[in-house]
Structure 1
Amino acid sequence: MKDSFKALTNRRKVPTFVVTLDALGTLYRFREPVPSQYLKVAQRCGLSTHVDSDKLDHAFRSSFKHYNTTYPNYGKGKLRDPELWWTKLVNRAFREVVDDEDIPQDLGASLYRHFSSGEAYELYPDVQPFLQTMRMLKDHYHDPEGPLIVTGVITNSDPRVRLVLQDFDLKVGPSSLPQISFGQSISETATRFRNQDYQALLASPFVDYFAADNDFDFLCTSYEAGSEKPDMNIWLAARQLIIPIPGSRAEQAVDSSSSAPHKGMTECLRHEVGDTTWIHIGDEYSKDYLGAVGADLDALLLRRDQDPSSDGEDNVKSVSSLEEAAMVVSLMAQGRFAGNVDRND
């Protein structure tokens, strides 16, 4: 108890460098044009009517605009779930190009599943080199007493982004904070006492929050955050997901075989986010770049296949690839943490 009190009054503020990225258009893209994928899935579901892909594309855009206005942010707070939102959108779009009775009943659900996987998307070639650089930075600054590198995804989308990223064999951290319970069930407690599992009895709710091998330490979707980029609230929601990481990392670093059972909890309480540098990388000027700058973050506008010097906007910091972004981030991190020597070097 005394150690826990000391931990609360003598906090270790961990210098933190946060790197966040957008998802669609930054990490991955559609494998084929959306209308083509819609038609292929519809035909698998039994649609036999000929549909012009250009007309379907126009119908899809019109339907998306309608439902994004009527039920913003994928129907958050107004509809049952994002799947219902997308089903309504799909049915409205197809009604513009085929008769209502020709639309397969399971089309909405089938398309929702299709766009929940890597079947619909592909990673950009520069993503893995970028992540490799991030892994090297994380490995270098791995000491829980030293600086911390955090990577995350902030996207205007629904929770299916996690499934898509996982389909690319990427490891993704939490999208929400763990529920804090101040008690365990009697059976759980009794079992842990019998097994002398005192560390588990005294572990913090955040003990498994951090994972050193994550490609992204957290995922913040607009649906779960309740707001979309460029709104300030989505950046604040992402910040909440960052807060437990230093403590979780420190708790996991405790050697349970040679430490008091409460040591992990004490270390979790002692470590907190300190001075923070945060850079966001994305391909949309208004949502990613201006949104991040408006939240007082650093930002890089990703302009693939374009000359970064021809931005058309004054004072825009841009890159032509994630590999170039990785070099910028690496230099920023090294400059930010100059003088912070990893004890394990």
Structure 2
Amino acid sequence: MSCRQHFLNHVRHVTTAAKHPGGRTLLLTFDAFSTLFHPRQPIAEQYTSTAHSFGLSPSVVVPDKLQAAFKDAYKAQSKRWPNYGRQDVLKGRYGGPREWWGDVIRGSFTRLIKGDDTGDQVELPEGMVERLLDRFAGRDGYALYEDVIPFFERLKRLKLDAGVGIFDRIVVGVISNSDDRVPAVLKSLGLTVGDVRADQERSSMDLPGFEERSRMDEDAKVLSSALYSSSETIDPVNDIDMVITSYEAGEEKPHRLIFDVAKRQAQRMVASMHAQPESTSSDEWICVHVGDDYKKDYRGAIDAGWDSFFLAREPLGDDIQPAKKIDTLVELIPKLEGYNE
């Protein structure tokens, strides 16, 4: 059976099934960087090659020295402007992620060329900072891990079977300690991504950032309503239904707030399809987060009351012993099917 025919059969099923807001919902979220995608080449090498293309000396700008300078600049920037300066952005005193990363870039090259960041920053060639900002907003800078596409193909089949399989609904999200470039990166790498974002204190649409999202036109809204207003699933066409970044949510993992915001947004998505309150006594939510960072992803999710799987992209140290570990995303499928037991 083709994917299209499967989808049409699914729509027929959910539109004739019993209509009720309750049921069993899986909220499945992933970290982004080093879980779904990775730098296409080491970041220092990409910075170096870009600098050389703008005329900076290859004898001065070398990857190992730039790597050390970048690490120091990033650490200093994170301390001075936590979470991309979000609190000061809300007060109108800072420009957000674009300014934040621009400062990191300039600080990295200042440390490399001058030996420190005291005094004035070095003047970089016109357009170089913007080139690097754009590079790391898409496929020029990043690549998917090999297991990501096969995994989402299998996960999509689970989404299409929602309502007749293990779960009544499946909501798929990304929870990332990052800025709003994450959706653009995921889309550029071939994944389909929904428009739901965090909405904490101030609409994410109003926070200054990288992404310029266009809202669905009226025809798209009508089609979406016709297909899914009575459905018990989130749009099965999307690989990822929502992206929750720390910049938009207000706190970074492992803080519980970012997980709470993700669940709240998922509940709103489900409730909007049934014109119901955000949760009912008949709801059963199974919340699962997957990531490669033991403290921020694995422990953060557990401490927020979620289930969690540690994705071992790199060899583990002896001091890290997660109870639930997978080596590839595809291994997660039978784990999810195990929730039926």
**TM-score bracket relative to the smaller structure:** 0.7 to 0.9
Amino acid at match of 2:260: L
Deviations 1:146-165 (Å, cap 9, x if unpaired)? 71111110000000001100
Q: Tell me how far apart the structure 2 counterparts of residues 147 and 311 of structure 1 sit (CA, whole Å).
A: 39
2:85 is equivalent to residue 75 of structure 1: yes
- The aligned residue for residue 248 of structure 2 is 224
Q: Tell me how far apart the structure 2 counterparts of residues 298 and 278 of structure 1 sit (CA, whole Å).
A: 6
Q: Tell me if the contact between 1:49 and 1:98 (Cα under 8 Å) persists in the aligned partners.
A: no
* Distance of aligned partners of 1:34 and 1:97 in 2 relative to their CA distance in 1, 3 Å threshold: same
Amino acid at match of 1:323: V
Q: Tell me if the contact between 1:19 and 1:279 (Cα under 8 Å) persists in the aligned partners.
A: yes
Asked which structure has the greater CA Rg, the reply is: 1
Report the Cα offset of residue 234 of structure 1: 0.5
Deviations 1:128-172 (Å, cap 9, x if unpaired)? 1211221111111157xx711111100000000011000012111
2:60 is equivalent to residue 53 of structure 1: no
Q: Tell me how far apart the structure 2 counterparts of residues 272 and 77 of structure 1 sit (CA, whole Å).
A: 30
Work out which of the residue numbers 288, 298, 301 in structure 2 matches 1:279.
288
Of 40-49 and 132-141, more deviation after overlay is shown by 40-49
2:312 is equivalent to residue 303 of structure 1: yes
- The aligned residue for residue 110 of structure 2 is 95
Normalising by structure 2, we get a TM-score of 0.75
* Distance of aligned partners of 1:313 and 1:92 in 2 relative to their CA distance in 1, 3 Å threshold: closer
Structure 1 unaligned blocks of 5 or more: 1-9, 180-191, 251-266, 336-345
- The aligned residue for residue 340 of structure 1 is none
Report the Cα offset of residue 98 of structure 1: 2.0
Work out which of the residue numbers 35, 39, 49 in structure 1 matches 2:48.
39
Work out which of the residue numbers 328, 331, 335 in structure 1 matches 2:338.
331
- The aligned residue for residue 293 of structure 1 is 302
**Equivalences for 1:131-170 in 2 at 5 Å?**
131-142=152-163, 147-170=168-191
Amino acid at match of 2:244: C
Q: How many residues align?
A: 284
Q: Tell me if the contact between 1:281 and 1:288 (Cα under 8 Å) persists in the aligned partners.
A: yes
2:124 is equivalent to residue 124 of structure 1: no
Deviations 1:282-303 (Å, cap 9, x if unpaired)? 0000000010010011111111
* Distance of aligned partners of 1:32 and 1:226 in 2 relative to their CA distance in 1, 3 Å threshold: same
* Distance of aligned partners of 1:314 and 1:91 in 2 relative to their CA distance in 1, 3 Å threshold: closer
SS at match of 1:268: coil
Q: Percent identity?
A: 31
Q: Tell me how far apart the structure 1 counterparts of residues 249 and 145 of structure 2 sit (CA, whole Å).
A: 26
Q: Tell me how far apart the structure 2 counterparts of residues 107 and 75 of structure 1 sit (CA, whole Å).
A: 23
SS at match of 1:246: helix
2:34 is equivalent to residue 25 of structure 1: yes
Deviations 1:206-235 (Å, cap 9, x if unpaired)? 96x953201011110000001100001101
Q: Tell me if the contact between 2:138 and 2:185 (Cα under 8 Å) persists in the aligned partners.
A: yes
* Distance of aligned partners of 1:149 and 1:15 in 2 relative to their CA distance in 1, 3 Å threshold: same
Normalising by structure 1, we get a TM-score of 0.74
2:129 is equivalent to residue 108 of structure 1: yes
